[in-house]
Structure 1
Amino acid sequence: MDEHRVGLKPIVGRQWAERGKAPIVRVAQRYEWLYVYAFVCPQTGDSLYWLLPTVNTAAFQAVLDRFAQDTQAGKTREIVLVLDGAGWHATPRLNCPLGIHLVFLPPYSPELQPAERLWSLTDAPLKNRHFDSLGALTDVLAEQCRRLEQQTQRVCSLTLFHWWPRIIRK
């Protein structure tokens, strides 16, 4: 599980252009943000996304509760979430739902977080584009997240590290 900030400040990236001609990207530096909360199961490629206007303990609690409900975590289904050490993840004010267990990565180790690999996929339709409003950006991003939830093989290929534990079914 991880969070990612996107907004009206454009994401400029490489793109194809005619030889000898520089591509033109319209930008308008504006600082309005939206946060993508993403959960991924590296073994299956299943992923879930939430778009929220902020990132804090209350927002994380709401998303965590909804995740537990959607995945039916509880007495009969245990889920281990790997998280970074963000303040809203590790606060004692967080009430972890039944069946959810939090495991924290060492500090400064984003390369160990499978969910970090999702951001190139979520950002893809936003690169080199100008959005007039946060609502317009939200529409494009929400559609991309819905597509990614269906692309389990693609997500699995990016997030299932060779050292990640494998699910053993009995």
Structure 2
Amino acid sequence: MCQEIALNTVGDFNSVNLYFQDESRFGLFTRNGKSVTAISVKPICTFQQVFKSTWLSRAFSPIIGDHFQLILPHYNADNFQVFFNNFSKENSKELKIMVLDNGRFHKAKKLIIPENIVLVFLPPYSPELNPAEKMWAKYKREFSNKFYNSLEDVEDFITNVVKATGKKEVMSICGYSYVLLDKIWTISYMRLV
């Protein structure tokens, strides 16, 4: 399927890559997570119930480990367009095949899809097919049981965890077998001729 997309796309591209995109909310509301304690000792952490948040939108390549992220104040079609525009400029000669879920703003009629991005939608209600979900699980574990005073602190956490995420880690976490078995990716980072 990806091979057909790459070959049927018109444009002057020198490479093609597969990305899985998703977005997640990170906020000031304390996220409870698991902790190790002595038997019958309840874990204690500082807690706040504040409903301010920011969004992280990311695209991960299980093929070569590239990843792109953008922190946004909220998520809607307009901000998804901002993500598209910035992602498109990153390695602009690369054809980006982006697999994503069926979020309402992912299919907004006012979106202008850049010529170097092709969208492929997952079947409805199938988050288990999106490797980006496993990246969120990793980030949310690190985010749990921590107190953040402001959204700037949350954004600092996001920036630090993103910086610490290497290409090999992305490939390891996002390298689902159904993705890596596709014939086009046997030549890891395909050159277009």
Does the alignment reach a TM-score above 0.5? yes
Q: Distance in 1 between matches of 2:153 and 2:62?
A: 30
**Residue of structure 2 in register with 1:162 after alignment:** 177
Closer, same or farther in 2 for the Cα pair 1:167/1:97, shift >3 Å? farther
Moved over 4 A (4+): none
Residue in structure 1 matching 2:62, options 31, 36, 42: 42
- The CA deviation at 1:21 is 2.3
Q: Distance in 2 between matches of 1:78 and 1:137?
A: 32
- Contact 1:43-1:167 at 8 Å conserved across structures: no
- Contact 1:9-1:28 at 8 Å conserved across structures: yes
Q: Distance in 2 between matches of 1:133 and 1:167?
A: 45
- The CA deviation at 1:57 is 0.8
Residue in structure 2 matching 1:97, options 92, 107, 114: 114
- Contact 2:33-2:141 at 8 Å conserved across structures: no
Q: Distance in 2 between matches of 1:144 and 1:37?
A: 14
How many aligned residue pairs are there? Answer: 165
Q: Distance in 2 between matches of 1:18 and 1:102?
A: 49
- Contact 2:55-2:74 at 8 Å conserved across structures: yes
Unpaired runs of 5+ residues, structure 2, are 1-20
Per-residue Cα deviation, 1:75-114 (whole angstroms, up to 9, x for no partner): xx32110011111111121100011100111110001111
Structure 2 matches for 1:59-138, cutoff 5 A? 59-73=79-93, 77-138=94-155
- Secondary structure, counterpart of 1:80 in structure 2: strand
Residue in structure 1 matching 2:160, options 125, 143, 151: 143
Q: Distance in 1 between matches of 2:149 and 2:95?
A: 43
Q: Distance in 1 between matches of 2:154 and 2:38?
A: 28
Q: Distance in 2 between matches of 1:101 and 1:167?
A: 20
- Contact 1:125-1:141 at 8 Å conserved across structures: no
- Secondary structure, counterpart of 2:171 in structure 1: helix
The answer to whether structure 1 residue 30 and structure 2 residue 50 are counterparts is yes
Structure showing greater Rg: 2
Q: Distance in 2 between matches of 1:10 and 1:30?
A: 8
Q: Distance in 1 between matches of 2:64 and 2:171?
A: 6
Q: CA RMSD in A?
A: 1.5
Q: Distance in 2 between matches of 1:70 and 1:57?
A: 20
- The CA deviation at 1:167 is 4.7
Using the TM superposition, name which of 54-63 and 16-25 deviates more: 16-25
Closer, same or farther in 2 for the Cα pair 1:9/1:20, shift >3 Å? same
- The CA deviation at 1:58 is 0.9
**Residue of structure 1 in register with 2:30 after alignment:** 10
The answer to whether structure 1 residue 57 and structure 2 residue 72 are counterparts is no
Q: Distance in 1 between matches of 2:33 and 2:164?
A: 21
Once the two structures are aligned, what percentage of the paired residues are identical?
A: 28
- Secondary structure, counterpart of 1:64 in structure 2: helix
